[in-house]
Amino acid sequence: MKKVQVLLSTYNGEAYIKEQLDSILAQDYPNISILIRDDGSKDNTSIILDEYCNRYANITFYKGSNIGCWQSFMDLVQNSDASASYFAFCDQDDVWKPGKISAAIKILEGMNQTVPLLYCSRYEAVGINLEKIKVTIHNINFRPSYGNAIIQNICTGCTAVINRIAVEISKEKTPNFMVQHDWWYYLIASCFGEVYYDENSYILYRQHGSNEVGARTTRIEQFKYRLKTYRKRRGNIYKQLLEFKRLYSLNADRKELLDLVLQTRNSFKSRVKMIMNKNIYRQRLSDDLIYKFIILIGDA
């Protein structure tokens, strides 16, 4: 039975961390270890983690300074178990269904083990007390691909499982910037390997505070929100692509798509070429139209 290591970053997570850990310990996959990095919590998170480490031999915990979300997860990757075959990213406040890991491993074991692999899935949105909430979680309309990954992330980190090759590739060169770790691995796997998106859900994804979704109910409100969000995030997408290009050698086709997106900042001709390129797309038609409208008018 191949070993799976769960990589969990915490920050002031005392409210829900016990539920999260208990749900990992209740997985029906028998060979799981948990590596936890605390990102400088100021509450009782560290005390709770010490208690779990003392009770369970398969849990390891270390403290770090407050460096931020993606940086904390990449530090976990750097310190991950060399004997593990697969690695699952984990938030501090969700609840995993018992079959989450086994479902992912079953899929991954049927994929090409010689390339970087990413498995991700849908999630079930719930409130702070795990009550069901009315929120539309859209299916992906098109296959995961590099052309999608360069402008959109379909991978929610807490659903992601990657293989050792993906970890080794990411450890070879240290990025100075990424939007988030889950998006980074979507880029790596779609560029150099394979991605599988599971339409089934194996996680209760707790919505609260800054991660709340679905609050904008009308189409006009959703449109305004997405327009504002894309304008705000466009610069970070460029920065992420520049970093990806700096670190990795891309084949001609991959480089051409990435460069086309980067060139839209300074060339109207490139903007037109990009919005006409069917290999570069977002999953929802409305999102795709909004994003490409922003690209066309050069609204950074």
How close are the terminal C-alpha atoms of the chain, in Å? 49
Residue 281 pLDDT class (50, 70, 90 cuts): very high
Between the CA of residue 172 and those of 103, 159, 168, 189, what are the distances in Å?
A: 29, 24, 6, 15
Domain ranges of the chain: 4-211, 219-297
Could you tell me the CATH superfamily of domain 4-211?
Answer: Spore Coat Polysaccharide Biosynthesis Protein SpsA; Chain A (3.90.550.10)
Q: How far apart are CA 186 and CA 156, in angstroms?
A: 10
Q: What average pLDDT does this structure show over 154-163?
A: 97
- CB count within 10 Å of CB 239 equals 14
Least confident piece of the model among 86-95, 172-181, 209-218: 209-218
Residue 138 pLDDT class (50, 70, 90 cuts): low
pTM above 0.75, yes or no: yes
The larger pLDDT score, comparing residue 213 to residue 134, is at: 134
- 196-231: pLDDT as tens digits: 999 999 999 998 764 444 444 456 766 777 777 777
Q: What average pLDDT does this structure show over 101-129?
A: 97
